[in-house]
């Protein structure tokens, strides 16, 4: 525990000098404060590992200082050892209620003080280690969650996660009687692109199509990779006419984009389905209707937009 920074809050200059010399001889770095306000400022502006706090201070009660430090998010983890000449049970209870981690009566034995400091710092170190492990675990779980919900190539949501979002948004549509639209996008002749230019180029095409789709929809909309060269976008509170405008932006942007290392023009076939529609009463039917419309676009010659009938 040597090298830890200890804030010693003591208004008795002689006692402060004696305690400081002892702690420094034990290998600690000591910061002095002779009143409560200075103590709080020292903790707020400096890195402190432990506070030795006198109960009786010239400007404010040590319990008030302790309570302030324990209520503050940035300082609540710092252990506090309360020092006092008052040894009644009530005094100890008040100090512990204020948040003190330990209580030591004056006059105190320096060896005992050092032992209590060591115990408090050891507990803090274990708590810090536990917090760090919890943080690392949360970080890992967050990464796992991202991996489980996103497509590794494009970074879009995958099909499974999109279906979850779809169910939630469709339920809102039914509850609030608001429109919703689904756009299905398929890259035309994608197998030919892979066969002619290679799968690496095919991956570049999919990434660029992803970027274009995201640029053409709103932040409140949700895009996902449906599978292979198929993409899907969900547009909440959007009717058929507005969805057609969004689909047209996607269609025109892709058709006019100069994809690198590809000599031929890349086009897409798009299908749109919207609610309200008497034949669509579930999220699954909305997706199916947009999928059917997209396949009709491909059947009719590709490079076009079709809406669900």
* Residue-wise pLDDT tens digits, 148-169: 899 999 999 999 999 999 999 9
Mean pLDDT in residue range 288-305: 97
Q: pLDDT tens digit string along 193-236?
A: 999 999 999 999 999 999 999 999 999 999 999 999 999 999 99
Using the 3D structure, point to which of 134, 151, 173 is the last residue of a domain.
134
Question: Which pLDDT score is estimated for 17?
Answer: 93
For residue 62, tell me if it sits in a domain: yes
- State the Rg of the chain over Cα: 33
Is 79 found in the same domain as 192? no
Is 186 found in the same domain as 81? no
For residue 76, tell me if it sits in a domain: yes
Residues 13, 15, 16, 22: is their CA dihedral positive or negative? Answer: positive
The CATH number covering residue 102 comes to 3.40.50.2300
Out of 115-119, 209-213, 271-275, which region has the weakest mean confidence (pLDDT)? Answer: 115-119
Beta strand ranges found along the chain (DSSP E): 5-9, 29-33, 50-54, 80-84, 102-105, 180-187, 222-227, 230-236, 268-275, 305-307
For residue 123, tell me if it sits in a domain: yes
Mean pLDDT in residue range 127-146: 86
Using pLDDT thresholds of 50, 70 and 90, give the confidence band for residue 1. low
Is 120 found in the same domain as 10? yes
Question: Which pLDDT score is estimated for 87?
Answer: 61
Is 193 found in the same domain as 123? no
- pTM summary value: 0.63
What does pLDDT average to over the chain? 91
Judged against a pLDDT cut of 90, whether residue 125 lies above it is answered with: no
75: nearest Cα among 96, 45, 113: 45
Is 226 found in the same domain as 130? no
How many domains does one find in the chain?
Answer: 2
Is 113 found in the same domain as 27? yes
For residue 153, tell me if it sits in a domain: no
For residue 154, tell me if it sits in a domain: no
Question: Which pLDDT score is estimated for 180?
Answer: 97
Judged against a pLDDT cut of 90, whether residue 88 lies above it is answered with: no
Judged against a pLDDT cut of 70, whether residue 284 lies above it is answered with: yes
Question: Which pLDDT score is estimated for 103?
Answer: 85
Is 246 found in the same domain as 205? yes
Using pLDDT thresholds of 50, 70 and 90, give the confidence band for residue 91. low
Question: Which pLDDT score is estimated for 30?
Answer: 93
Domain range for residue 105? 5-134
Question: Which pLDDT score is estimated for 283?
Answer: 96
Strand partners, 50: 6
Using pLDDT thresholds of 50, 70 and 90, give the confidence band for residue 12. confident
Is 211 found in the same domain as 177? yes
Is 212 found in the same domain as 99? no
Q: pLDDT tens digit string along 64-83?
A: 988 899 888 888 889 999 88
Phi, psi of 139 (to 5 degrees): -65, -45
Out of 49-58, 105-114, 162-171, 235-244, which region has the weakest mean confidence (pLDDT)? Answer: 105-114
As a whole-number percent, the residues of the chain with pLDDT over 70 amount to: 97
Question: Which pLDDT score is estimated for 127?
Answer: 86
Is 181 found in the same domain as 222? yes
Is 70 found in the same domain as 113? yes
For residue 127, tell me if it sits in a domain: yes
Is 286 found in the same domain as 168? yes
For residue 202, tell me if it sits in a domain: yes
Using the 3D structure, point to which of 134, 167, 191 is the last residue of a domain.
134
The CA distance from 58 to 267, in Å, is 79
Judged against a pLDDT cut of 70, whether residue 268 lies above it is answered with: yes
The CA distance from 304 to 298, in Å, is 8
């Amino acid at each position: 525990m040597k090298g830890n920074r200890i804030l010693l809050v003591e208004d008795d200059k002689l006692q402060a000098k004696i305690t400081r010399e002892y702690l420094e001889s034990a290998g600690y770095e000591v910061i002095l404060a002779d009143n409560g306000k200075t103590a709080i400022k020292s903790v707020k502006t400096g890195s402190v590992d432990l506070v030795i706090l006198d109960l009786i201070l010239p400007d404010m009660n040590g319990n008030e200082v302790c309570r302030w430090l324990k209520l503050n998010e940035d300082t609540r983890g710092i252990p506090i050892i309360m020092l006092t000449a008052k040894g009644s049970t009530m005094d100890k209870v008040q100090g512990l209620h204020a948040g003190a981690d330990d209580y030591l009566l004056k006059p105190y034995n320096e060896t005992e003080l050092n032992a209590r400091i060591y115990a408090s710092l050891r507990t803090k170190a274990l708590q810090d280690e536990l917090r760090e492990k919890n943080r690392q675990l949360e970080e890992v779980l967050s990464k796992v969650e991202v991996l489980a919900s996103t497509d590794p190539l494009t970074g879009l949501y995958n099909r499974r996660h999109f279906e979850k979002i779809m169910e939630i948004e469709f339920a809102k549509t039914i509850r609030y009687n608001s429109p919703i639209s689904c756009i299905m996008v398929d890259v035309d002749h994608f197998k030919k692109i892979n066969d002619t230019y290679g799968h690496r180029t095919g991956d570049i095409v999919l990434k660029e199509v992803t970027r274009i789709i995201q640029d053409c929809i709103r932040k409140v909309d949700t895009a996902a990779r449906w599978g292979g060269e198929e993409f899907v976008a969900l547009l909440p509170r959007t009717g058929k006419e507005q969805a057609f405008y969004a689909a047209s932006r996607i269609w025109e942007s892709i058709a006019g984009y100069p994809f690198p290392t590809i000599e031929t023009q890349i086009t897409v076939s798009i299908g749109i389905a919207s609610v309200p529609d008497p034949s669509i009463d579930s999220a699954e039917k909305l997706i199916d209707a947009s999928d059917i419309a997209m396949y009709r676009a491909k059947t009719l010659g590709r490079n076009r937009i079709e809406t669900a009938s």
